Amino acid sequence: MSHIVVIGAGQAGASLVARLRKDGFEGDITLIGAEPHLPYQRPPLSKAYLLGEMELERLFLRPESFYTDNNVSLRLGQRVTGIDPQAKTVTVGDEVISYDELALTTGSDPRRLPAAIGGDLDGVHVVRDLAHVDDMGPYVAEGARALIVGGGYIGLEAAAVCAKRGVKVTLVEMADRILQRVAAPETSDYFRTLHSEYGADIREGVGLDRLVGDNGKVTGAVLTDGSQLDVDFVVVGVGIAPSTKLAEMAGLELDNGIKTDAHGRTSDPSIWAAGDCASFPHAGARIRLESVPNAIDQSEVVAQNMLGAAKDYVATPWFWSDQYDVKLQIAGLNTGYDRVVTRKGEGQTVSFWYYKGDRLIAVDAMNDPRAYMVGKRLIEAGKTADPVVVADPDADLKPLLKA
Ligand SMILES: Cc1cc2nc3c(=O)[nH]c(=O)nc-3n(C[C@H](O)[C@H](O)[C@H](O)COP(=O)(O)OP(=O)(O)OC[C@H]3O[C@@H](n4cnc5c(N)ncnc54)[C@H](O)[C@@H]3O)c2cc1C
């Protein structure tokens, strides 16, 4: 194997090339990214960076010297427009680059509002890339009025930053409750209360009907319940779609993302995929995860498999979100839970433990790193936790690990 090409210079792509070199790969590596920046971490984009509390340089995953020192040819600001799996080439502008093995780490694209309802007006923002947040930054000013569309993590984190900066925030969520797709009602209740305490107006069961503009700039919104708002800017947090266009054009199999086997190999034996764009087998089903831990762990397994390891990727999902002074940490996936046990600590500290039958499957911990850590280790070890111990705030959780 002499030349590995990686398309997508984000979290997964950067981790993949680093792992290839760490494991001794001595051939050529080309990492191609459409954005002009060094590979960077996205989580701060809706947190410290948007708040203005983080320097640009601190977003970068590694300094430029890392790529030079490791002999990685980094091609930034260049978009791959085609893959020819038969010829084993990719096209960048007028150039055709040959590969022996190819990895797709193309991430995902934010869903946007249709132009027909004002989605193309100035002042309407999505939060995915550094450029999006740099565009939005000047709008986040004291006294401005923001409409946030979508009560998932991105919308809620943006709402928290805006409220903290003195923006008057209205957030609409079309579903019955915020975080409906990812969390139990207990967690939704917790965050609804938190946001309300900071003055954000959270409206659930209400969607956006249309935006209103003046001279190409957004000035207002009409909601599905008929109410009208004056707004200075809009943040759209209505989810993402895996970036599968290249894979689809190349004839690779798709299934809610680029379909891979447990090793991360796509339907073409020389093409691999990892990160937000890849769907993979997990516990008898097929899932796709949108998180930093997944992007890192999966791409590292793919790197090892590109070098012949034949290792299954076994995901142990975890995630975090920061809103105001609360850190939410999530271990496991709560899909199919039938019982939630609450463990209440001091002040804002609380954790929700999700069970399926007797089995512990997930934990949502708010400002409670110990509950998160114990829950994560139990889930990883396939152990459960006695609900009586969990519910008792005075009971030490650590002995559960030895049970
Ligand atoms: C605002 C925000 C906050 C987040 N917060 C958290 C959090 O708190 N915790 C957490 O775990 N996760 C969080 N996430 C999710 C996490 O950042 C993603 O899951 C992770 O970045 C996925 O990594 P990836 O490499 O798959 O994709 P990305 O990091 O998106 O990288 C993909 C790259 O591929 C490039 N690309 C795509 N197509 C092409 C092409 N044809 N040619 C060249 N380049 C191409 C894209 O431009 C992009 O730079 C957050 C995401 C966002 C946007």
Q: pLDDT tens for residues 353-388? A: 999 999 999 999 999 999 999 999 999 999 999 999
Identify the CA nearest to 160 among candidates 151, 117, 295, 21.
151
Taking the centre of ligand 1 as the mean of its atom positions, its distance from the CA of residue 225, in whole angstroms, is 34
- Alpha-carbon distance 375 to 351, whole Å? 10
- Tokens 């009586």 belong to 388
pLDDT in the model for residue 287: 95
- Say yes or no: CB of residue 11 within 6 Å of ligand 1: yes
- The average pLDDT across 29-54 equals 97
Taking the centre of ligand 1 as the mean of its atom positions, its distance from the CA of residue 295, in whole angstroms, is 8
- The average pLDDT across 88-104 equals 98
**Residue 10 one-letter amino acid:** G
DSSP class of residue 47 equals T
Which has more confidence, 102 or 316?
102
Q: Give the pLDDT confidence of 306-354 residue by residue, as tens digits.
A: 999 999 999 988 999 999 999 999 999 998 999 999 999 888 899 999 9
At 223, list the tokens.
């909601």
Q: How far apart are the first and last CA of the chain?
A: 47
Ligand 1: residue of 35, 97, 276 to mutate (most ligand atoms within 8 A of CB) is: 276
Ligand 1: residue of 108, 240, 291 to mutate (most ligand atoms within 8 A of CB) is: 291
Taking the centre of ligand 1 as the mean of its atom positions, its distance from the CA of residue 227, in whole angstroms, is 35
Chain-wide mean pLDDT for the chain?
A: 96
At 183, list the tokens.
């969390």
- Alpha-carbon distance 228 to 225, whole Å? 9
Ligand 1: residue of 38, 40, 41, 42 to mutate (most ligand atoms within 8 A of CB) is: 42
- Say yes or no: CB of residue 127 within 6 Å of ligand 1: yes
Residue 228 reports pLDDT greater than 80: yes
pLDDT in the model for residue 107: 98
Q: Give the pLDDT confidence of 277-301 residue by residue, as tens digits.
A: 999 999 899 999 999 999 999 999 9
- Say yes or no: CB of residue 246 within 6 Å of ligand 1: yes
pLDDT in the model for residue 351: 97
**Residue 264 one-letter amino acid:** G
> In sequence order, which residues have a C-beta less than 8 Å from that of residue 98 and are 6 or more positions away?
3, 87, 88, 89
How do beta strands 339-344 and 350-356 pair? antiparallel
Taking the centre of ligand 1 as the mean of its atom positions, its distance from the CA of residue 334, in whole angstroms, is 23
- Say yes or no: CB of residue 80 within 6 Å of ligand 1: yes
pLDDT in the model for residue 1: 60
- Say yes or no: CB of residue 152 within 6 Å of ligand 1: no
Asked whether 273 and 258 are in contact (CB, 8 A), the reply is: yes
pLDDT in the model for residue 348: 87
**Ligand 1 atom, smallest distance to 246 CA:** 41
Taking the centre of ligand 1 as the mean of its atom positions, its distance from the CA of residue 276, in whole angstroms, is 7
326: part of which helix (H) or strand (E)?
A: strand 326-332
pLDDT in the model for residue 316: 83
- The average pLDDT across 222-243 equals 98
| Band of residue 182 on the pLDDT scale cut at 50, 70, 90 | confident
Identify the CA nearest to 345 among candidates 385, 395, 399.
395
| Band of residue 402 on the pLDDT scale cut at 50, 70, 90 | confident
**Ligand 1 atom, smallest distance to 275 CA:** 26
